[in-house]
Amino acid sequence: MVESQTVGSWAFILGVIIAIIAGLAAGMLDATMAGWITLVLVILGLIVGFLNISDKETSGFLIAAIALMAVGTANLAAIPEIGMYLASMVINIAAFVAPAALIVALKAVYNLAAKPAA
């Protein structure tokens, strides 16, 4: 049987590859195809959030996720020639990381709430 950590690792690698390739294909994809790609990235992100991030890694992962979301607010599209591709890659990576961050944050809140008060 395949270990959940292995599945999560492959989901992460696949998600990053899809996000980068879809970013490089920016402008060539119609809205329907872009929507399906985003759906796949969200599903892979959920898998990563459930299977890959341990309790010890929660803080570091959530900080990294916040940093990625902050990069998404930069006006990368204004960079001549490559800006559209960079912006699209960052948006796709954010679509991949955001669901994982949601799961990890919910697990962290649950763990904090489940602990008895000292």
**Rounded-to-integer distance, Cα 84 and Cα 18, Å:** 17
Q: What is the pLDDT of residue 118?
A: 64
Is the model's pLDDT at 2 over the cut of 80? no
User: pLDDT tens, 43-52?
Assistant: 999 999 998 8
Query: How sure is the predictor about 3, in pLDDT bands with cuts at 50, 70 and 90?
Result: confident
**Rounded-to-integer distance, Cα 39 and Cα 50, Å:** 17
The residue among 32, 100, 6, 115 whose CA lies nearest residue 60 is 100
Q: What is the pLDDT of residue 54?
A: 84
Single-letter amino acid, residue 42 = V
Rounded mean pLDDT, 66-86 = 89
